[in-house]
Amino acid sequence: MDEPVRIIQISDIYSETGSIIPWGLNLAKHTGSEIDILHIIDPRDKHGVESPESDSQSISPGAKLSHEEILKREKGKAAQALDKLLSKEASRLNYPLKINTIIETEYLEEGIKKVCRERHGSLLITGSDPGDTPLTDEDELLSVGRGLATPVFIIPPGTSFQKPDKAFMLADYSESPGKEMNDLFDWLTPFSPLLNAGWVTKKMGNYVKLELAAKRWEKAVTKLIDPGITIKTTQLKGESFIKAVENYVHRNKFDWIIIPKSIKGSSKKIFSADICKKLISSINKPVLLY
């Protein structure tokens, strides 16, 4: 990368299946990035409750905490938990990583969009299990992620970081590669992986046409990317889009999967949320939405 960029990671410090914060810290280390850990306390989830113990001299046990007092208490608990986790992980990294913690009490989607706008050119990381984050379900995860101009990495809980030797990319051959594509490949440059770019066709009659489009796309992309990245295109055949991709990914043991948010010229402006959701679930590997 020409200059250090920012990674924004949605906090999952209360995860019971394994926080992905260490994964994001390792990505920041290998890409020379500054990282912001974003913990969002959605004010809609916090209502007045009775305090089991005194939170201050003005609040006695059993007294009902106000909405503001609850948010203040939750921010304090989150700050302590983040500090404990980050101190432990920073010592493991043995690297002078710049880590910032941001605790917001914005509505979820607005809070994420606000931070991404303030950090132009950044990358967002979140877990694939919405139960570990303020996100309510997979549909909200995809809705928020695909509504951002920012690329979004979705990581299965408890995933250990490893440098990607091979990555598979679902490529929209109809789209001429531009600055957005160049920015995407910047995140792969530090790893110099083998990148397979492909699409699925059901009909043999479409195969030759797709192959020609793929070669034109590959030639254009090669001019943009770092020479350390080896890229080749491949066409997958199958009646089921999900099964064709899933089988290819597992058979070739790809480390990362890259999926487009939109398809140019499609009747749908956004790549099918249902396909995205099923791929993320069935593949169970880090997925980068671009």
* Beta carbons of 82 and 14 less than 8 angstroms apart: no
Q: So what's the pLDDT on residue 62?
A: 54
DSSP 74-85: HHHHHHHHHHHH
255 occurs within a structural domain: yes
Residue where a domain terminates, one of 155, 176, 193 = 155
Asked if residue 54 belongs to a domain, the reply is no
Say whether both 142 and 172 belong to one domain.
Answer: no
Give every residue of the chain whose pLDDT is below 70, as ranges: 1-5, 43-63, 106-108, 178-179, 204-205, 263-271
Which domain, by its residues, includes 173?
A: 166-283
| Residue recorded with tokens 């299990």 | 129
Residues 139 and 217 in one domain: no
| pLDDT one-digit tens code per residue, 50-88 | 333 334 444 445 567 787 888 888 889 999 999 999 999
Token reading at 70: 């609850």
Nearest to 161 by CA among 19, 32, 8: 19
DSSP of 269-281:
SS--HHHHHHHHH
Q: In this structure, is residue 252 part of a structural domain?
A: yes
* Domain shared by 16 and 135, yes or no: yes
Please check whether residues 201 and 239 belong to one and the same domain: yes
pLDDT tens digits, residue range 84-131?
Answer: 999 999 889 888 899 999 888 766 677 788 888 887 778 999 998 877
pTM of the predicted model as reported, rounded to 2 decimal places: 0.85
Q: Please name which of 111, 190, 124 lies closest in space to residue 153, comparing C-alpha atoms.
A: 124
- Read out DSSP for 30-74? HHT-EEEEEEE--GGG----B-SS-SBTTB-TTPBPPHHHHHHHH
Using the 3D structure, point to which of 155, 179, 211 is the last residue of a domain. Answer: 155
- Element holding 91 (H helix, E strand): helix 67-93
Please check whether residues 214 and 120 belong to one and the same domain: no
CA distances from 195 to 27, 32, 62, 132, 192 (A): 18, 21, 59, 30, 9
275 and 172: one domain? yes
Tell me the residue ranges of DSSP E strands in 164-282: 166-170, 194-201, 230-237, 256-259
DSSP, res 283: H
Interacting residues of 232 by C-beta distance below 8 A, sequence separation 6+: 194, 195, 196, 197, 218
Q: Which residue has the tokens 């590959």?
A: 218
Please count the CA atoms within 13 angstroms of the CA of 73 that sit on its side-chain side: 18
Percent of the chain at pLDDT > 90 equals: 36
Same domain, 104 and 43: yes
Residue finishing a domain among 135, 155, 175 = 155
**Token pair recorded at residue 42:** 């959605």
Do 245 and 278 belong to one domain? yes
Q: How far apart are CA 53 and CA 61, in angstroms?
A: 4
User: Residues 178, 132: one domain?
Assistant: no
Q: 132: exposed, middle or buried (C-beta count within 10 Å: 0-12, 13-18, 19+)?
A: buried
Are residues 230 and 177 part of one domain?
yes
